[in-house]
Amino acid sequence: MTRTRTRARTRSRAAVCAAALLALAMTGVTGCTDEDRQAAEDIVSSATAAVASAAEEKMNQVKDGVNATDNVKAGATGTDGDRTTAEITATNPTDSNADYTVWVNFRDADGNLLDAVVLSIDGVEPAGSKTSTARSNRTLSGATKAEIQQALRH
């Protein structure tokens, strides 16, 4: 007689598999069926989309921001504990102090979005630069790259 899985049990196994897939970069996970694996990938995709949506919402809250994406650069990624980090540098081309709100995406080697964060770089002096660290919201595995999605000067 075949076992029938309930929806709750399938979702529970999918959540466990999602955690395993994240930890093992979606390779070599035993005990996960193709159905579980797909459900886990869907969960990860949904969570990543939610993080990107939250980043967009934060950017939309900035009042009187001027597009300054060309004035902000992302450095190479590194790690701090279990999080991925990147040095983000804002260069102020204006003649007065400026604050920057920056949306940083972390992507894998294939260009897939892994995480998104928003950070502030405050008090950048005229014709000066200032650096801050973007830190992923969760543990990311494999090679990652930071990119500037959007930057606002205000």
Q: Is the pLDDT of residue 35 over 70?
A: no
Would you state the pLDDT for residue 50?
A: 77
Are the beta carbons of 88 and 124 closer than 8 angstroms?
no
Query: For residue 87, with 0-12 CB atoms within 10 Å meaning exposed, 13-18 middle and 19 or more buried, which class applies?
Result: middle
Would you state the pLDDT for residue 51?
A: 78
Per-residue pLDDT of 95-145, as tens digits, reads 999 999 999 999 999 999 999 999 999 999 999 999 999 999 999 999 999
Would you state the pLDDT for residue 13?
A: 39
Q: Which residue has the tokens 């995406």?
A: 105
Per-residue pLDDT of 71-94, as tens digits, reads 999 999 999 999 999 999 999 999
- Three-state DSSP class for residue 16: helix
Identify which of 59, 128, 40 has the alpha carbon closest to the alpha carbon of residue 91: 128
Would you state the pLDDT for residue 43?
A: 56
- Flag whether the pTM goes above 0.85: no
